[in-house]
Amino acid sequence: MSEKTFVEGLLAGRVAFVTGGGTGITGGVARALAEAGARVALVSRKMEHLEPAAEKIRAGGGEAFAVTADVRNMEEVEKALAATVEKFGKLDIVVNGAAGNFLCPAEELSPNGFGTVIDIDLKGTFNVCRAAFAELKKERGQILNISATLHYTGTPLQLHVSAAKAGVDALTRQLAVEWGHHGIRSNAIAPGPIEDTEGMSRLVPAEVKEKLRRNIPLGRFGRIRDIEQAAVFLCSDAASFINGAIIVIDGGQWLSKG
């Protein structure tokens, strides 16, 4: 497969707002949307993550713009969205990838630790969707949320993230129903273990990694590219009747008892 996406030009003319867009899975998604022709706003708390990612997209011939916002803060989200619309003229696609994670046993998790992850993952997703509604409605746009598979089974040390992502799934389906009438599609991707991500290096201890890989029916970890391709598809007209779907991309891992 070429380094460029298989869907070059599929998103020509679209404008995307990608939170967490500088690094990891969502960094890849932002780049892939740009390769498919979208103009992309990369959004996160830290400009030092965003600007190099935006520069890389521009160097590859795409259009990208870096803007800081903490998704927990509605005022900052509204400002970043307004800046994106001012720069690119409209908004078609929102990708909610900003997330927080750490490993912690439930009995040691503080209320603020629990709330912080809920605020970033779940409330942040709501904030961005809510603030983007009017612009998405104008363009009959799309929402793509990045969820997880952790909450399909019990995942030790991940109570806070599992609860947040279960909420993201509910929000995805709710908006599919409530905003589908406006032509706005709402879908999610649930990635399994993806190599070369902060999540894998920081959250999966080395001794667990090989066991985890052996438990994946397809025999390998996912690649960021696997998520990118699905994201481009879901944001494109090729997926025009897909609404309220949560697409699991994990090589069959969560179904496998190992």
The verdict on 2 binding ligand COA (CB under 6 A) reads no
Longest dimension (CA), the chain: 51
Nearer to ligand COA among residue 33 and residue 148 (C-beta):
148
Nearer to ligand COA among residue 157 and residue 242 (C-beta):
157
Please pick, from the candidates 7, 99, 235, 247, the single residue that binds ligand COA as defined by CB under 6 A: 99
- By CB under 6 A, how many residues form the interface with ligand COA? 13
Q: Which residue has the tokens 């909420």?
A: 167
The verdict on 116 binding ligand COA (CB under 6 A) reads yes
The verdict on 112 binding ligand COA (CB under 6 A) reads yes
Span from 107-115, 129-137, 179-187, 243-251 in contact with ligand COA (CB under 6 A): 107-115
The verdict on 113 binding ligand COA (CB under 6 A) reads yes
Site string for ligand COA, 173-202 (x = CB under 6 A): -------------------------xx---
Whether the CB-CB separation of 19 and 43 falls below 8 Å is answered with yes
In terms of Cβ atoms closer than 10 Å to its own Cβ (0-12, 13-18, 19+), residue 52 is middle
The verdict on 244 binding ligand COA (CB under 6 A) reads no
- Supply the DSSP string of 68-103, one letter for each residue: E--TT-HHHHHHHHHHHHHHHS---EEEE-------
Distances (CA, A) of 122 to 27, 116, 171, 257: 19, 10, 8, 28
Structure tokens that stand for 140 in this block:
């009959």
Q: How far is the CB of 90 from ligand COA (least distance, A)?
A: 29
Nearest to 46 by CA among 29, 69, 64, 24: 69
List contacts with ligand COA (CB under 6 A): 99-102, 104, 110, 112-113, 116-117, 120, 198-199
